[in-house]
Amino acid sequence: MISLQEVTPENFHRFKNHILEVEKSSFLSPWTIRAFEAETKRPVSQLWALLAGGKIGGYICFWIFENEAHLMNIAVHPQRRKRGFGGCLLKKLIEVSLSEGATKAWLEVRPSNVSARAFYIKAGFTEISRRPRYYRETNEDAIIMSLSLAPEDTGLMKSSYIWNVEHAA
């Protein structure tokens, strides 16, 4: 049984250690606990935790402003990947975006992050441009990807996978 819970300043203490554990095992330059806490207080930001078997399997942080969603962070515990948890988290971003009237979602990803790029492409995102030497620690470019959420566009149709991830286990 999985569920998603919004992380707020009030409940942050319950989630912070597990979130940090997933973050540290997922990134070379992990966010600090202070960075996560700041996101729970930022008006444009939402932080959601995915709970599975009583433990945090992953989380997503995104901003919504000026009719656009910006994915800031997403990670699934290394031992729990490829079970649809990432899809469930991305689905939350899309649901909230649609309910708040956002018409586009944006993200940045490293060219070397092959699994994340495959994950985003499966969700319907397409590469728009590159930002040279965006990641300062490694001098790596950022690939900018976007997904159209406008009803008249085809972006969401390409996300059909996202709408079928209820069964994640």
Ligand X SMILES: CC(C)(COP(=O)(O)OP(=O)(O)OC[C@H]1O[C@@H](n2cnc3c(N)ncnc32)[C@H](O)[C@@H]1OP(=O)(O)O)[C@@H](O)C(=O)NCCC(=O)NCCS
User: Under the rule (CB under 6 A), what is the footprint of ligand X?
Assistant: 26, 74-76, 81-87, 109, 113, 115-116, 118-119, 122
- DSSP per position, 94-146: HHHHHHTT--EEEEEE-TT-HHHHHHHHHTT-EEEEEEEEEETTTTEEEEEEE
> Toward ligand X, which CB reaches closer, 9 or 25?
25
**What minimum distance in Å lies between the beta carbon of 110 and ligand X?**
7
> Toward ligand X, which CB reaches closer, 115 or 138?
115
> Toward ligand X, which CB reaches closer, 17 or 25?
25
Question: 151 pairs with which residues across the strands?
Answer: none
**What minimum distance in Å lies between the beta carbon of 25 and ligand X?**
9
> Nearest residue by C-beta to ligand X?
86
Compute the distance between CA of residue 125 and CA of residue 104 in angstroms, rounded to an integer: 10
Count Cβ atoms below 10 Å from residue 85 Cβ, excluding itself.
Answer: 23
**What minimum distance in Å lies between the beta carbon of 152 and ligand X?**
26
> Toward ligand X, which CB reaches closer, 102 or 107?
107
Compute the distance between CA of residue 75 and CA of residue 136 in angstroms, rounded to an integer: 21
